[in-house]
Structure 1
Amino acid sequence: MTACGELPKPFAHSGPDLSNPLLRLADGGGIQVSAAPELPEEIAGPLMAAAVKGLADANVPATVNSDLARGFRLIGGVRIETDDAGGPETARFVWRLNGPDGAEIGAFDQTITGDTPGWLTEDQQIFDIIAADAGQRIAEILRGQKTGADAAAGKTVAGVQPSLYLVGVDGAPGDGNRSLIRALRLVVGRAGGKVSDTLDTATHLVMGSVEVSGGMGGPGGEAESRLLTVSWAVTGLDGVELGKISQSNQVPKKMIAGRWGGLAYAVAKGAGDGIFEILESSRKPARGRKPLRVPAQPN
């Protein structure tokens, strides 16, 4: 199974879409974003700035300006969990949205585990991915839609919840390899799926690859964009390929040269549905599947 076409485009945000009803919030106000009081400034500042951008990309006006007299208020916090073995921390990002009257109208949390101890202060690129997802979820709340686990209720295939082992991504410039895996982990969890940390508890494997080729030229003759192609292969534990997803689009070259942030989330969000479609279709007999070599895992 191969799904081809344009990538989702929240990363193509080029200014407010004034026809979007989300820009006309109650009483003409926007969303004032603030950090929970206990959040350290070295985390609060970057996280709130990322939240404002994530909301803007979802066409929701937001500001960290505390002088906003009317409108909604979004409060963000982080709860950190550590294990006794001294491994990477697990961060639970907690968001609460209050209406203009101060009453809570929505709340959700996002959980993600870092790569190394201390990652939350040393590797804050993850805030861009967290904020992109939060922006979409806030937009859903404002539309009156269910969000997160309330909407997903656990993805199942033939009555069994699949558990995906994300092998990795290769070929991406900047921090794309790591950001894509992080974003996909978040997307799968939000959709009600499971991500396994070990092969022993996995039912399927997912691996990605990125190819960047020449793009469209700019005024000076130099290409200002690149053709980005992201492919995802889904296999069984035996290495037999069940399906593949291919996404491609022109993106500004500066967007993939460093931090991917919201772009990684946009790509992963588009891939998530395709992955579950592959898992569902894998229940049907298929011929001619070729085994895909799985990289050896460290002991």
Structure 2
Amino acid sequence: MISNIAIVSHYSELGHIQDCLKRMLLKLRLENWHILLVTTFINAESKDWCILEKIDFLLRANQGRDFGAFQAGLRHYQKLKLFVDCKSLILLNDSVYLRRDTHLTSWDDFLKGDSDSVIGITDSFQNGYHLQSYALNIPEIVFNSHCWLNFWKNLDITTSREIIIQDGEIGLSAMLLNSGFRIRALHSILATRRLAASTQFNDWMREQLAYNYCQVVIEYFHSITCMSSCFLNPSHQLLFPLLFDGLPLVKRDLLESNSSRAPDPFLLAGSIDWFDNDELVTFLKPPIVQFKQPSFIQKILKSLYNRSIRLQR
């Protein structure tokens, strides 16, 4: 009998399972979660590791991003009738880093879930209110409902990234609310904004960072004070107060490219044991940075120099 199922979306061009993802999967196994890793490619070493650790894996076509993986995993286990005795379902993706100090976070609360509510780690008002889909805990009353089954049956994963986000991530929360189900974020954006302005958070920042760096972080939060919550991505722009509040998962794209120009959580890595340097080597996918190209004048000067050398010879 399987009572807890975790479907994890995975993508790697090399087919490897990142070290930090292995750590997260092993934590789930220790908590008696039955895991299905849904991926587009997995190499021989990773297959052997999954077999050794009793983790199922499923290959799928590279369509639909995370929601394509979730759809494939749900359909696969539905065919095998593994949801008959299931009480809790978790959907996770591999684009998040699980903090090493999980005992100081809301990770256990996330795994525990809620018998009558879909639980997310964070929520957002961007383009419509929704739970951010990198981590969702769904109770039995929801994943056995007709509206849940119909949502995944009818979801088109062959469209563009923008439409998949709108119809998938945002559409899922809208469907749940319209069907009368409750959804709840462990770290809501409204509570996090209040926390960012609190003396408690600001005092904590002063304990962690030197004065100059602390001022930079505080000034950043001052700069977004007048922004509507509808325009904020909390898992990026409110990351520091979220980490202070016990956020267990950090999104990879913030660590890699940080398009929101939010304070870098690595600033705190020296004083708090959140990250493992060795794990980050296989986790991060740094963007390709173009090397500086010589200017037109430099090219002319180099050409003249090479010509003078040839004449001297």
Measured against the shorter chain, the TM-score band is under 0.3
**Greater Rg over alpha carbons, structure:** 2
- With normalisation by structure 2, the TM-score equals 0.26
- Write 1 or 2 for the structure with the bigger share of helix: 2
- Write 1 or 2 for the structure with the bigger share of strand: 1
- With normalisation by structure 1, the TM-score equals 0.27
